[in-house]
Every structure is written in structure tokens, then in C-alpha cells.
Amino acid sequence: MDERPQLPPQVVAALAQDNLGPKTLALVYSFTFLALISVALRFFSRIKLTKIVGWEDYFIGISMVRFLGDAKKIHRSLKRAPGL
């Protein structure tokens, strides 16, 4: 009835140990930190040094908030299904 091939126990054990969750989280945290620092420095330079904040700065701020939300979703999904 079930014509799918069955994996040998050695392959199943090897797949169980192959977990990309921690590496993915490390990448997400690293890029989130770099993006947050970059946006903060941009806003600092625009507000303090030039005293001119343009419409593109607001879009960058909105994009950063959305990026933080996406990072949170990735974090939650990897904590629920760590095997990836």
C-alpha cells in the first residue's frame, strides 16, 4: 500500500543530528544587529549632524520595524521546530 521507500535507521539517525537551527538563528541575530546599528547611526547622523530627516529615512525606519518583526517570526518558528 505505502510505496514510499523506507530509510535505513542509520540515515534516520544522521538526519536527526543534522540541525541547522542554531546556525540560522546566529545569522538572523547577526544581521539584525548589524541592520539595527546601521539604521540607528543613519538616524543619529541625520538628526544630530544635518538636522534634516527626509521621507526616505521614514521608509528605512518602517523597513527596520518590519525586519525586526520578521526576525521575531523566524526565532519563534525555529524554537517550535528546531530541526529545520
Q: Residue 61 belongs to what domain range? A: 20-80
Q: Specify the number of domains making up the chain.
A: 1
Q: Which pLDDT band holds residue 1 (cuts at 50, 70, 90)?
A: low
Q: Tell me the Cα Rg of the chain.
A: 21
Mean pLDDT of the residues in the chain:
88
The answer to whether residue 32 sits within a structural domain is: yes
The answer to whether residue 59 sits within a structural domain is: yes
The answer to whether residue 76 sits within a structural domain is: yes
Name which of 13-17, 26-30, 62-66 the model is least confident about.
Answer: 13-17
Q: pLDDT at position 83, please?
A: 56
Pick 56 or 21 by higher pLDDT: 56
- Name, in order, each residue with C-beta under 8 angstroms of 7's C-beta and a sequence gap of 6 or more: 15
Q: Which pLDDT band holds residue 36 (cuts at 50, 70, 90)?
A: very high
